[in-house]
Structure 1
Amino acid sequence: MIKTIDYGVRFSSAGLISSMFIILAACIPDPLEVEGIPVVQPQIVVSTQIIPDQSLVVLLTKSFGALDANEDSDAQELLDQIAVEDAEVTITGPRDVYTLVALGSGVYGGTFIPFEPNAEYTLHVESETLGEISATTTVKPMISFEDIEAELYFNGYDDTLVQVSYQLIDPEEKNWYMLNVQQIESDELIEDALNPRAFTRLLDDAEFESNDYSETFRAFQRDFEAGDTVAVFLSNISEEYYNFMKLRLDNRFSFIEYLSEPVNYPSNVQGGKGFFNLYVPDIRTFILEE
């Protein structure tokens, strides 16, 4: 039996990143004593998320070397070191220029920005310490679930997974999709959505011919229990971001690789790293029951 619930979405700057860096600190290897390595200048790393109420969150951090921290590093101190706090951030669209507000911990937010499907928007960041970066992307049209269910699945061993069955209508044009399954521990939906340990499934519509597509998959990042609240995200993404995420998923230490030097992933950020996206996910939440 499945119950669905709705959550209000709001910004939380400190909470948005804290859980990510707790995980990060646990994954960083011990520093090695190496001499003679040239210092690599840090660059701004971009991550973005928009939500259906036309709010935008931009996370700005600076890349750092793998020798700059270890497993004993304090997560908050590490966050203080790499969060970009001195930036002026704007989004330029077809109708206006929008200035984002600094929310702390490298998070910048804007509300009521009229993101128009298939329109181009440019992100511009100017930091006194790290210089300027820019990136341009096109808003992807939102594609929603036609039907979806999520339930506990016992695999016969000691693991309890989430089984998701869904259906969507795939438009005639070429599309790439990203599905995420994330446990929600509070009403901070964006905070949980950016968690790098969320289960992610990528889908290229070249894999199926029918416009009416359905499948069942199992999320296996963690053990789930009855009473857990999970969110399932369906995002229509660009081919470039699809390739970017595919490389990240192939790397077990994707989060540290994403932030540290060198970052060997494709990027649409001029003068920086990461990826500037403007896609609106369809988000469905469930309370799991026996």
Structure 2
Amino acid sequence: MKINKIIFLLLTSASLFSCRKPKPLDIAIPQRKDEIVLSSMLTDGNTLLVAAGYSVEAISNINEETANTTVPKNMLIDSGLVTLTPAGGGEAITLTKVSAGMYGSRNMALQPGQRYTLRVTDLRKGLQATATTTLMPQPSACMVAPAYQSTTAGDTLYKLQIDIPDTYRGAQYFVSYTTSRQLRQNVKLFSQTASQNLSALTNFEPKQIELLQSDNDGQLSRSISVRVSPRDTLIVQVARIDDGYYKYLQAYKRTGYLINQLTGEPINLPTNIEKGHGYFSLAKPYRFVFDMQKVK
């Protein structure tokens, strides 16, 4: 796989796998084996990436100390058939295998408001999982602006101001962010044996995700603090999501587990997957790229 293709996939799937690691809760979360785990990310209405694997008890609680362990081969769906079909009929779109456990397409013309059914079949094991969701439209004229806050012990803190006009009470969004430095690290990892490298999988996507919910009709305004090198590039995505995915991400963050959908899914998280775990969501995000050297 060419590096530029990897860079594109990294940039266009800003929250496919992992969420920010909060302070862990003192709870034990059981796992089940041989149940398909799915995750998805639509980027611009044309690019869809789907992760497909299995929940594995032995590595359910992943952290930085275990991140260099190799992934068991049978954890990733290597011989899969992944299709997306408009609900109510229509021609099925078959996604191409990108790597073990990853399937995608860059030539999709999906319509906001349309329901789509994802079907993943493991041709080797004969197992199948399906899920249906509605493509959420882009937020209305979303605006994002970073501003310098302070520098402490070498860490530079910026305030990220997010304004979404014309929202309604209860509307839900997620904000994800990463940096060019992190993406370059991911590309380096993927230039190795990516499909068998747990470090590559756990670091493939940013762990920084913030959830927003509008308290009233009108403009939604929030600010969050982010640590970014002033010599780096900040990449931010804002997407409107449905209530089911919002609750899934809330629960995901509360677990305190640095997990992704290819390395073990707690069975008590909300899911819309039939005969599996994870969450199938389609949301068309706004993406913003900031050269932090120009941010004052």
State the TM-score, normalizing by the size of structure 1.
0.75
- Identity rate, percent: 20
For 1:50-199, list aligned pairs within 5 A.
Answer: 50-66=42-58, 71=65, 74-75=68-69, 77-78=70-71, 80-94=73-87, 95-127=90-122, 128-129=124-125, 131-154=127-150, 156=152, 159-172=155-168, 174-185=170-181, 186=183, 195=204, 197-199=206-208
Q: For the structure 1 residues 156 and 215, does the alpha-carbon distance in structure 2 shift closer, same or farther, using more than 3 Å as the test?
A: same
Aligned-residue offset at 1:276: 0.4
Aligned-residue offset at 1:66: 3.0
1:202 corresponds to: 211
C-alpha distance in 1, partners of 2:217/2:232? 34
Contact (CA 8 Å) 1:183, 1:229: kept in 2 or not?
Answer: yes
Aligned-residue offset at 1:163: 1.4
Aligned-residue offset at 1:236: 0.3
> Number of paired residues?
256
User: What runs of 5+ residues in structure 1 fail to find an aligned partner?
Assistant: 1-7, 28-38
Q: Which structure's relative contact order is higher, taking Cα pairs within 8 Å and 6+ residues apart? A: 2
Aligned-residue offset at 1:10: 2.6
1:274 corresponds to: 278
Q: For the structure 1 residues 252 and 262, does the alpha-carbon distance in structure 2 shift closer, same or farther, using more than 3 Å as the test?
A: closer
Pick the structure with greater CA Rg.
1
Deviations 1:110-152 (A, max 9, x none): 1222211111100011112260110000111111554321134
Q: For the structure 1 residues 146 and 130, does the alpha-carbon distance in structure 2 shift closer, same or farther, using more than 3 Å as the test?
A: same
Contact (CA 8 Å) 2:119, 2:131: kept in 1 or not?
Answer: yes
C-alpha distance in 1, partners of 2:261/2:44? 30
2:290 corresponds to: 286
Q: CA RMSD in A?
A: 3.5
2:255 paired residue among 251, 258, 279: 251
C-alpha distance in 1, partners of 2:68/2:208? 26
Aligned-residue offset at 1:86: 1.1
Q: For the structure 1 residues 264 and 65, does the alpha-carbon distance in structure 2 shift closer, same or farther, using more than 3 Å as the test?
A: same
C-alpha distance in 1, partners of 2:252/2:57? 18
Q: For the structure 1 residues 257 and 280, does the alpha-carbon distance in structure 2 shift closer, same or farther, using more than 3 Å as the test?
A: closer
Amino acid corresponding to residue 44 of structure 1 in structure 2: I
Q: For the structure 1 residues 81 and 155, does the alpha-carbon distance in structure 2 shift closer, same or farther, using more than 3 Å as the test?
A: farther
State the TM-score, normalizing by the size of structure 2.
0.74
2:191 corresponds to: none
